[in-house]
Chain A
Amino acid sequence: MPEHSRSLPETVEQFLDSTLESVDSAEELTVGVAQRAGFDEDDLMKIGLAVRESMVNAVVHGNRYNAHKKVRLSVTSNGSRLTVRIADQGEGFDVENLPDPLAEGNLLRTSGRGIFLIRSFMDEFLIRRLETGGIEVTLVKYPVSK
């Protein structure tokens, strides 16, 4: 990763509609920031997929496609880390009670792998319930030193 690209801080914030088009937009925007920050192709794929899964959770499970509810996306790159925050205005969910998708009896479930993939692909993953209602997830990825 070129050293100069790490030193260029960038922050983007958007309020997105609760649609699947927003999922694509959020992924594209985040991957663009990560690309400018110098992340390699493999990391770009992981970051993009983690953002996609988080956005799907916000749009589908959080805001339930409600046209009156927005998803707030913020992406910050400061040279030493990429931080993505995605907040919905939904009812929230209990992440601790999600079934383990790797358990023998769950392997053939058709859903329930999103959070697992996010955890697998990002270096940090935090979930907090907002006082205003809704869930905010924070995804962090550190560049690999070369």
Chain B
Amino acid sequence: MSVKLNTRQVGDVSVVDVAGRITLGEGSSALRDSLRDLVGKNHKKILLNLGEVSYIDSSGIGELVSGFTTVTNAGGQLKLLNLNKRVKDLLQITKLYTVFDVHDDEAGAVRSFS
């Protein structure tokens, strides 16, 4: 399996549940398309739930950064939820962990959007 994406609304926050591998090719382009689609529909509060992401490579990290920039430039906020140890480690060694607003609890994450 490459990647599966499912978007649901919790109040005015769009929660994107991501499962599988975010790697160069289908995985990273699917994530990019999903985020651009949300921004295009004027969704400005986006929570990426990465709890079921089994694997991410540098291309996947690049897509997270690209999504963050796209949403921020559109005046929105993109936050991350439920990072597993591997994804968290990758974001830490690439110094991106502090760039993203990262949460472990969905309800708290939803409330944190201004």
Interface residues of A (CB under 8 A from B): 20, 23, 45, 49, 52-53, 56, 60, 101-102, 107-111, 113-114, 116-117, 120
Contacts and interface: CB of A to CB of B under 8 A. Distances in A.
A23 B24 contact: yes
Contact of B62 (A60, A102, A113): A113
Contact of B58 (A23, A102, A107, A113): A113
A23 B93 CA distance: 23
Interface residues of B, number: 20
Interface of B: 23-25, 57-59, 61-63, 65-66, 68-69, 86, 90, 93-96, 99
Contact of A110 (B24, B25, B57, B62): B62
Top 6 closest A-B pairs, CB basis? A110-B62, A113-B58, A114-B58, A110-B66, A20-B25, A102-B95
Main secondary structure of the interface of A (DSSP, over half): helix
Main secondary structure of the interface of B (DSSP, over half): helix
19 contacts: A23-B24, A45-B86, A56-B24, A56-B57, A56-B58, A56-B59, A60-B24, A107-B95, A108-B68, A109-B65, A110-B62, A110-B65, A111-B58, A113-B94, A114-B58, A117-B58, A117-B90, A117-B93, A120-B93
Contacts of A101: 94
Contacts of A53: 57-58
Nearest to B98: A107
Given A108-B69, A110-B69, 19 more contacts: A49-B57, A52-B57, A53-B57, A101-B94, A102-B94, A102-B95, A108-B68, A109-B62, A110-B63, A110-B66, A111-B59, A111-B62, A113-B58, A113-B94, A116-B94, A117-B57, A117-B58, A117-B94, A120-B93
